[in-house]
Amino acid sequence: DTMAIEQPAYRVLLKEGDYELRLYEPMLTVHCRESDLGGGEGFSKLFNYIGGNNESATKISMTKPVLNYPAEPEPTMAFVVPARIAAEGPPQPNDPSLEVRSFAERQVAVLRFAGKISPEVIGQKQAQLLQWLADKHWTPAGEVALARYNPPIVPGFFRHNELLVEVNTEDLA
């Protein structure tokens, strides 16, 4: 299916209802400072980057999910770099406010949920995800990120969203 949008590769290690523990393969992301969950300027800059606004004028296919890292030092929005481009080394952004980051293989706890996104919803789901970790005696290694798999035109009820947080691997031994 040529229309399938690439997603980061992972294996599910544990599934309990809407919760999963996943092992993600290494990946690259492109980040832009952006506090507006709606996307705002950050989304436009990232979209321009994959559209060819980069050092080699390379067009890069859109991936999903779109990621938001809401915490300090500053909130960012990110796109995942497709595996083939990541393997070759992605082109550097022309826009100095964009940054390519790499993630090693990691274990990530995930809570999947549908619906529209608001700070209230995120706060509530984040509490649920962290409680699931606490119940397992796992500790988060980093901040909770928001992953969205659908464009805004999709009605809220059908939207596939996730909160993700890396888990300390010592806890999983």
Cα–Cα distance between 101 and 146 in angstroms, integer? 17
User: Are 33 and 101 within 8 A, CB to CB?
Assistant: no
Partners of 162 in the beta sheet? 112, 147
Per-residue pLDDT reduced to its tens digit, 38-83: 677 899 999 999 999 999 999 999 999 999 988 767 889 999 999 9
Instruction: Find residue 109's DSSP bridge partners.
Output: 21, 165
The parent domain of residue 119 ranges over 1-173
Percent of the chain with pLDDT over 70: 96
Closest of 17, 38, 36, 13 to residue 112, by C-alpha: 17
Domain total of the chain: 1
Does the pLDDT value for residue 16 go beyond 50? yes
